[in-house]
Structure 1
């Protein structure tokens, strides 16, 4: 089979497309014929040498969609449409950047959809993270105001869709003036250009501060995001578009505004119920909702896809199709 292999940290030239043996599933495992996979910042962190616990050489990729190719114990029938994500994929064992991948059955999510594979490939990990951040991380409710920091990322756009569906008012940021219109077209109530200090503007729009905030940029903007949030409001730290996630010399009393709560979210396959994935795939198929634009690449173009992700060239989700 063809697979992208990363021999060690470095630039995009370290991503090498090779012919490797098709992996064999063992007890409790399933082999998936990969049709598409989404790109995630986690894989950029792995390539840059910023991720912990990664061993090399490694096939990257924390998610994939496709069909069951082999289940030695016969629990999942061959040909069943499935998604998989997380659980060490692309870090401690080979992940989704390949024509086949072997994963624990416990992290396989079945679904049924007639959508093209490139559209399906854009959904699982982004939906899991957006859904978990808004529900577990923020407990977002109808009528509340949500600030999304890093709004034109795939996760930011998906979170805006889910928040609007819940009945929230959404403020969302971009560093690019040219993307303000795109945020508005996506349904964002208050698109904002982010210069790194937006708390005062947010409080002008929402007196007292927003009820909830989703931090997707990282620690450089976190203090300003906290300052934009009301007393008893919650900030959920989920993303690290800046590649900075450590708070040095953290003194909570000085760092956290009085009464503002700071939470974090990181999920696994088990945090995306099959019925939630199915419901959103169905709604995307009918055109009722959109999680944002999808940009599609061939497996041969993995280096170009990684360059686009690293430089933030394209808003929305980047997806690679394997065939």
Structure 2
């Protein structure tokens, strides 16, 4: 049997965490003391240094998540920190920098809104970086979603042209940065003229202001159609996005920022001749450790701009972070940084 090793950082039996005891408003987020999680066989305990705040955690708090969530629950679908306890067979060692995300975190088992989190070893991504935790904490979920959409979903190649519908979302900004690093030409949309500068800051070649129909604008930039399109706005604009793509090009449906995941009375014949429609919904295993390491290095070298939004300090600020996510007025990924 593998021996279990630990740093001893969780020597006390309790920790501080944000707990949702019932679905509700911001007042349902309670900072309280709970037992430090004991890892199951094959799991890893992580001392959390930072975590991003996501729309899905807002829906979990409200009781509107599609996932099977039980309460009380510590939310948080992603986090970064250091390994506190792990079995030798996991290949992870105490003190190692790691990221984790999804796989039931914050839904079917307690998540990262806490000083410690225990997760399956398979969804732990090791890395080494000198970037601040406030930057690294913003990256796992949005980079995994962006990278998986561009690779698994679209198969984007160097030299191709990409449309990102919903470009000022955190995934949209990340996708633009990754696509530019890959060598693609990027067209990206925003509903607000004031956000055009945010698109240019991550290297977007052609920002487009979205009034609900962008096909004509995109076709002016790419008369034959774009090679690939990443749909993040949702079903309400999918037909228009499909019209922007060349024959044998691909649209990947990844998100529904406008809230419409389905299309009433959908007909396959709404898809233009020869255009391919796929979807992406990934997991931590879709972001290989070497790829995440490359992305961290690209940020450190200044080749990629990490779309980090406001940094909130301490668990007491989770409510403010979720309020800003709901308002949608703060650009970039909100991050909660925990004190040492």
TM-score under structure 2 normalisation?
0.91
Give, in whole Å, the separation in 1 of the partners of 2:29 and 2:243: 40
How many pairs does the alignment contain? 322
Give, in whole Å, the separation in 2 of the partners of 1:236 and 1:119: 27
User: Structure 2: which 5+ runs fail to align?
Assistant: 1-14
**1:147 is the counterpart of 2:163:** yes
Please give the residue correspondences for 1:108-119 in structure 2 after superposition, counting only pairs within 5 Å. 108-119=124-135
Could you list the per-position Cα deviations for residues 230-286 of structure 1 after superposition, in whole angstroms to 9, with x for gaps in the alignment?
221111111122232122222212x32222111111111111111111111122123
**1:42 corresponds to which residue?**
56
User: Structure 1: which 5+ runs fail to align?
Assistant: none
Give, in whole Å, the separation in 2 of the partners of 1:248 and 1:12: 33
Contact 1:173 1:192 in 2 (8 A): yes
Give, in whole Å, the separation in 2 of the partners of 1:166 and 1:73: 36
**1:66 is the counterpart of 2:81:** yes
**1:318 is the counterpart of 2:331:** no
Q: Secondary structure at the match of 1:183?
A: helix
Q: Secondary structure at the match of 2:73?
A: coil
Could you list the per-position Cα deviations for residues 195-239 of structure 1 after superposition, in whole angstroms to 9, with x for gaps in the alignment?
111111111111022111101111112111112222211111111
**1:292 corresponds to which residue?**
307
Please give the residue correspondences for 1:91-240 in structure 2 after superposition, counting only pairs within 5 Å. 91-240=107-256
Contact 1:27 1:73 in 2 (8 A): no
> How far off is 1:175 after superposition?
1.1
One of 267, 275, 283 as aligned partner of 2:282: 267
TM-score under structure 1 normalisation?
0.95
Could you list the per-position Cα deviations for residues 124-180 of structure 1 after superposition, in whole angstroms to 9, with x for gaps in the alignment?
111111111111100111221111011111111110011111111111111111111
**1:282 is the counterpart of 2:308:** no
Contact 2:202 2:304 in 1 (8 A): no
Give, in whole Å, the separation in 2 of the partners of 1:19 and 1:117: 24
**1:54 corresponds to which residue?**
69
Contact 1:28 1:73 in 2 (8 A): no
Contact 2:178 2:304 in 1 (8 A): no
Q: Runs in 1 of length 4+ with deviation above 3 angstroms?
A: 72-75
Give, in whole Å, the separation in 2 of the partners of 1:177 and 1:12: 31
Of 131-140 and 2-11, deviating more is 2-11
Please give the residue correspondences for 1:69-84 in structure 2 after superposition, counting only pairs within 5 Å. 69-73=84-88, 75=90, 76-84=92-100
Contact 1:39 1:319 in 2 (8 A): yes
Give, in whole Å, the separation in 1 of the partners of 2:131 and 2:268: 47
Give, in whole Å, the separation in 2 of the partners of 1:192 and 1:180: 8
Q: Secondary structure at the match of 1:197?
A: coil
CA-atom RMSD, angstroms? 1.5
Of 280-289 and 201-210, deviating more is 280-289
Give, in whole Å, the separation in 1 of the partners of 2:272 and 2:29: 43
Q: Secondary structure at the match of 2:35?
A: coil
**1:20 corresponds to which residue?**
34
